[in-house]
Amino acid sequence: MLVIKMGGSILKEGASSELVSDLKTLAEEHKLVLVHGGGAEVTETATKLGKEQQFIVSPQGFRSRYTDKETMEIFTMVMAGKINKKIVLALQSHGLPAVGLSGLDGALLKAERKKRLIIVDERGRKKVIDGGYTGKITEVKIDLLGLLLEKNYVPVVAPIATSEEFEPLNVDGDRTAAVIAGALRANCLILLTDVEGLLLKGKPVPKITAAEAEDVLSSIGKGMSTKVHAALEALNQGVKEVLITSGVKQQPISSAIKHESGTVIINE
C-alpha cells in the first residue's frame, strides 16, 4: 500500500496528466490513498472574498496560516470542495475510481484543538495567542478507508479534522499523510513537492537514515523540514520507507519507488 501526499505547489493547475497516468499504472499493483494540500489556492480565494490572510511564525521558524473561524470556513470550502473534487475528476478521467473525502467524513481524522499558540512577532518577541481552528491529529479511524480500499476505490483526503467539540480543524497535510500511512501500515509514504528531494548544500540526497535526517533538520529550509518531520513520524509508526520527490516530472512516483529519483528516508 502507498500513501501519497500531493503538495499544493504541484497542484496549481490541478493534477497533471503525467502524474495521473503514473497513479493509474501504480494502481494496477498497489492500493493507493492520496492526501492533498492547496494552501496557495485557499489564500487566493480568501483574498477574492475580502478576507485578508494572516501568517504566523513559530519559535522554531515554521510559517503557517492563522486559522480563525472565517478562514476555517474558506479553508473547508476550498480544500474539501474545489481542490478535492478537481483531483477526483482528474483521476476519474483516467479510469481511476476516486472518492473525495476530508477528515470530517466518517470522523476519519480526530484532532485536539490547539488552545494557544506561541509565535514570534515582527520584532522577534515571543507572544501567546489563541489557537484558532488548528489542531493536532490524535486518531485515525481507518474503517472507512478500509472499506473503500477493499472495493478498489482510491480515497482522496483533504487535511481537515474533527475536534472533540465536532468543529472542523486545519491540520498539516504532510503530518496527515504520515499518520494515515502509519495507521494503515503502509509500505511507503511518498511526499510529492516541486523540488527533487531533500537538498543539502544545494545537492539532492539520494538516501538518508532517520537519525541522519534528524541531525540535518536545523540546516534545511522550513518547508522541507516539515516534510522531514512527517517522514520521521511515519517511520516511527511502522512505515518502511518515506520518499520525498518532485511531482512535476514524468512518472514521478514510479521512478521514486525504484529509487531512481528523489530522497529515500529509512530507519537504518
Residue 179 has pLDDT above 60, yes or no: yes
Q: How far apart are CA 242 and CA 210, in angstroms?
A: 10
pLDDT in tens, 141-166: 999 999 999 999 999 999 999 999 99
Q: Alpha helices of 5-58 — where are they, by DSSP H? A: 17-27, 39-48
Cα–Cα distance list, 19 to 11, 23, 246 (Å): 10, 6, 10
pLDDT above 90 covers a percentage of the chain that reads 80
Q: How far apart are CA 194 and CA 154, in angstroms?
A: 23
Q: How far apart are CA 83 and CA 64, in angstroms?
A: 19
Vertex 62: Cα angle to 61 and 64 (nearest 5):
140
For the domain that residue 115 is a member of, what is the CATH number? 3.40.1160.10
Higher pLDDT, 162 or 12: 162
Q: What's the domain range around 145? A: 2-266
Q: How far apart are CA 110 and CA 147, in angstroms?
A: 19
User: Residue 130: what pLDDT?
Assistant: 93
SS3 assignment, position 117: strand
- Band of residue 60 on the pLDDT scale cut at 50, 70, 90: confident
Higher pLDDT, 64 or 72: 72
Q: How many CA atoms lie within 13 A of 85 on its CB side?
A: 6
Q: How many domains does the chain contain in total?
A: 1
Q: How far apart are CA 176 and CA 230, in angstroms?
A: 8
- Band of residue 13 on the pLDDT scale cut at 50, 70, 90: low
Is the dihedral angle over the CA atoms 33, 253, 244, 41 positive or is it negative? negative
- Can you say how many angstroms the Cα of residue 169 is from the centroid of all Cα atoms in its chain? 15
Q: How far apart are CA 137 and CA 160, in angstroms?
A: 10
Over residues 110-131, mean pLDDT: 92
The grid coordinates of residue 138 equal 490524535
219, exposed or middle or buried, with CB in 10 Å at 0-12, 13-18, 19+?
Answer: exposed
Over residues 41-57, mean pLDDT: 95
